[in-house]
């Protein structure tokens, strides 16, 4: 299918389901069934088996026609992490069952990986799943779970064989977040919000048919999820002067009385770093379109955390006393992170989490050094020891 045929398919969708006269969910269903949800996915799963680079053609045409979107900020974990993992490791039945409601926003997803004793060392996690007939019984605790209070389903990494070394005894499941054994508690952040949660699993039940990948192959599946997460964070299409530098540059232009040589130099460095990140993201998308994603995802995640923290600090410094203002400390449970609908103080505080979420900067530096640059790894004495024998 070439671009002309793809445009014709979009026009047919709009003619048969006029956005102004079609229920929002009905339109999204029709778009998915027409293969226009994510064109690089296979036919029958919301795609057409086309290069990823052809998706913007669809998105722009539908945006101009006033078509509804699937609220991607609310379902970002499902789109960026769960969906590509299901596509790579799921059975045909799982793909048919999960992908359509996921993309259409009928089901919100979250990620249950990190634990109080296994954050940076994810393979050391302790949440246990024991097989009882054809059902797994799960007990444990997860933490730092974005959107768990909204989620219908979760991608879950658990330990199924404590007699194996820590990387080998893991398995990967899809969890129904409405199971009676699932309890979600808010974690109030420095911003006053609770977009994160801790999740307690007490005899939660998962059918074996909701396992992704083989028993014991959870580490392989989880790595695919984490790679897609970093691409989702850093692989977007961005305009020039985007993100955190936008608000800082606006303040600089509107308030010449705040300028100093020192802040001028900091702004220029931030602007240049942002532009380098934008160009790198373009290269990442080009590699993804060619089917050969490179290490840019991890590098972009590292860069965004550093740039956001430096520029948000600059904005607070620029504003002086006004930078100390804070809109509200009221407890809120948002549906997504909104850096730019709030004041500079919020941006400064929220950016502190960027170097933790999606993989800590320290761990990502190890990933880049070992897997990209080929540097020797640090000595690890626990790789071949059964998990049950490790000190915790």
- Rounded distance, CA 33 to CA 52, Å? 18
Q: In the chain, where does the domain assigned CATH 1.10.540.10 lie?
A: 8-103
Which pLDDT score, from 0 to 100, does residue 330 have?
Answer: 82
Output the CATH code of domain 109-222: 2.40.110.10
Instruction: Give me the CATH code for the 235-372 domain, please.
Output: 1.20.140.10
Every domain range in the chain assigned CATH 2.40.110.10: 109-222
Catalytic residue among 229, 315, 327, 357: 229
Residues of the chain predicted below pLDDT 70: 230-237, 287-297
- Helix axes 24-33 and 92-103, enclosed angle (nearest 10): 140
**226-265 pLDDT, tens per residue?**
877 766 655 566 778 888 999 999 999 988 888 899 999 9
Q: What is the pLDDT of residue 282?
A: 80
> pLDDT value at position 65?
97
- What is the pTM for the complete model shown? 0.89
* Model pLDDT for residues 112-160, shown as the tens digit of each residue: 999 998 877 899 999 999 999 999 999 999 999 999 999 999 999 999 9
Range 8-103: architecture per CATH: Orthogonal Bundle (1.10)
Q: What pLDDT does residue 227 have?
A: 78
User: Is 265 an active-site residue?
Assistant: no
């Amino acid at each position: 299918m070439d671009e002309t045929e793809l445009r014709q398919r979009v026009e047919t969708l709009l003619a048969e389901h006029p956005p102004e006269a079609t229920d929002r969910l009905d339109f999204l269903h029709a778009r998915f069934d027409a293969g226009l949800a994510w064109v690089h996915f296979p036919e029958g799963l919301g795609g057409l088996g086309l290069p990823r680079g052809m998706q913007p053609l669809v998105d722009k045409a539908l945006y101009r026609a006033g078509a509804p979107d699937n609220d991607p900020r609310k379902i970002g974990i499902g789109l960026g992490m769960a969906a590509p993992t299901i596509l790579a490791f799921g059975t045909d039945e799982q793909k048919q069952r999960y992908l359509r409601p996921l993309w259409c926003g009928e089901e919100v997803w979250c990620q249950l990986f990190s634990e109080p004793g296994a954050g940076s060392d994810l393979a050391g996690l302790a949440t246990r799943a024991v097989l009882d007939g054809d059902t797994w019984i799960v007990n444990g605790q997860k933490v730092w779970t974005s959107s768990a209070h909204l989620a219908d389903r979760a991608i879950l990494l658990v330990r199924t064989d404590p007699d194996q070394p820590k990387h080998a005894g893991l398995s990967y499941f899809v969890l129904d977040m409405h199971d009676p054994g699932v309890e979600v508690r808010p974690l109030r952040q420095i911003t006053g919000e609770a977009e994160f949660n801790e999740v307690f699993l007490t005899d939660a039940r998962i059918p074996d048919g909701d396992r992704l990948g083989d028993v014991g192959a959870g580490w392989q599946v989880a790595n695919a999820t984490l790679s897609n997460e970093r691409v989702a964070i850093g692989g977007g299409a961005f305009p020039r002067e985007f993100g955190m530098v936008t608000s800082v540059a606006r303040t600089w232009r509107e308030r010449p009385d705040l300028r100093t040589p020192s802040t001028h130099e900091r702004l220029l460095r931030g602007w240049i770093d942002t532009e380098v990140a934008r160009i790198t993201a373009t290269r990442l998308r080009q590699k993804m379109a060619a089917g050969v994603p490179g290490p840019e995802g991890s590098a972009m995640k590292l860069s965004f955390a550093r740039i956001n923290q430096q520029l948000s600090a600059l904005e607070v410094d620029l504003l002086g006393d006004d930078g100390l203002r804070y809109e509200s400390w009221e407890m809120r449970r948002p549906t997504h992170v909104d850096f730019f609908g709030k004041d500079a103080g919020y941006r400064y505080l929220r950016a502190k989490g960027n170097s933790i979420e999606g993989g800590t900067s320290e761990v990502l530096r190890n990933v880049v050094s070992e897997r990209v640059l080929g540097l020797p790894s640090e000595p690890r004495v626990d790789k071949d020891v059964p998990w049950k024998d490790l000190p915790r």
